[in-house]
Amino acid sequence: MAVKLLISATLRTFAGRKSEIVLEGSTVQEVLDRFTDEYPDAGKALFGDDRRLRPFVNVYVGGNNIDALDGLETKLEENDTVLLVPVIVGGAPEEGVISEERRKAVTLDDKEIDRYNKHLMLREIGVKGQKKLKAAKVLIAGLGGLGTPLVQYLAAAGVGTIGIVDFDEVSLTNLQSQVIHGTRDVNRPKTASAKDSIKAINPLIKVETYHIKLTEENIEEIIEDYDIVADATDNYKSRYLINDACVLLGKPLVFGAMYQFEGQVSVFDARRGPCFRCQFPSPPPKGLVPTCAESGVIGTLPGIIGSIQANEVLKLIIGGGESLIGEMFLFDTWNFTGRKLSVAKNENCPICGKNPTIYKIEEFDYEDFCGLKEDEEEVPVEGITPEDLADRIERGEPLTIVDVREPHERSISRFPNAVVIPIGQLARRQNELDPDMDTIFICREGKRSILAINTLREAGYKGPMYNLKGGMEAARDIIFSNEGGWL
């Protein structure tokens, strides 16, 4: 029978850039088998060496996760839709997170009544709801694309205290999607720039800034005084760290993520439903799924997804609205499609399941869990600087340069005479490389190229391999200043 397989953007690089494929199969397993037969590179992304589905990949049939059905043996009907969702119990709480005592302790003056007039006219919000907003404390982790609309709309809505956490500074590349920052803010701390913008929007609210990186040592102290945490970060370590701290401290977490044209939003609250680990038990291997920094994002998507996050925050504060607890909303802005998927609580979750194993943040090794720690038994990847590579090219030394970037990245910047081999094809195309010649691997930032080298090592390739340190970003002013490689 014919079944439609929908492929999330993060996996399309392994499937010929296709977003959907019609395949024959009576079970999910049969459909995925036919999919990986047709696109062998997708097999490594979806399945581990034991041929079990990787834990960072979720498969849905009819809006339900197959974990809640019959797993890979879930039977399919004619014209069913199977959805692949990698990392990248709905409910309507009777009351918001703000107690009656805290609400009654707040008053609205004449200026605030004028400012929030359109809220006050809504029966679902009214004076009581607006006072809850004023009494609320919300922490936003990350001031990039998602943090921008979160901060702006929560400030405009009158959330009384907003905490903002980010250790980074504003760069020129941020301005395409992070509209809370302006050109004059380049090189300023994002927290300082965002605070100025927040105060310009609404001088009546309190802003707490944390120009630091969230770590195992500081996260609980930072979030413990807030009612809600909104995750607008862009790395897996922060995702799991924030989730775990929220579970241990009993805080609802409003999650948002995006990639190219697609976004995800959910509310994780282990007291009433699943947590982030229930949906994504572990992150993908380092370098397998490119980040937004490596693969780009349409400038409007952060505004859409961040605004939905802000909306979920407001509903949690005010109460009465249908929350995304136990559900995940997926939106594809390019094809303009959206769907809600159920997210079940995992009884085996290590932090919110029946028999938890994580009790303290500081005792869990997040670096190792997210693949950020070098394996002591793994042979270190030898690197080469852009300066050294430029010298070797200038001297005419025999070299093979392998570009593992995506096609859209190469359309922006080309490396002259490079051999183009996507990471997923390296193992079966290793015979195209000369093991007697030095091979230099390049990507955008020098991270995926490390994965490429380790992939070839596992496949048995013995030739000398080097990683271009810092990737094309570090090389463009050195190697390409007179080559015309950059458009």
CA distances from 437 to 397, 440, 458, 466 (A): 10, 10, 19, 11
387: its two tokens = 């300066």
* Rounded distance between C-alpha atoms, residue 156 and residue 204, angstroms: 10
Indicate whether this model's pTM tops 0.75.
no
Domains of the chain: 2-86 (3.10.20.30), 136-369 (3.40.50.720), 383-475 (3.40.250.10)
One-letter amino acid for residue 324 of the chain: L
Task: Reply yes or no on whether 349 is catalytic.
Answer: no
Query: Hey, which residues does 85 pair with through a beta bridge?
Result: 58
Q: What is the mean pLDDT of each run of 10 residues along the chain (487 residues)?
A: 78 74 85 84 76 80 82 84 67 68 92 93 92 96 91 96 93 85 91 93 95 91 95 87 94 92 92 90 66 69 94 93 90 90 88 88 65 54 87 89 82 82 84 91 84 85 89 75 39
Contact 13, 406 (CB under 8 A): yes
Give the model's pLDDT for residue 294: 54
Task: Reply yes or no on whether 275 is catalytic.
Answer: no
CA distances from 321 to 94, 95, 123, 311 (A): 8, 9, 12, 10
Contact 204, 115 (CB under 8 A): yes
* Active-site position among 292, 349, 352, 370: 292
* Rounded distance between C-alpha atoms, residue 92 and residue 111, angstroms: 32
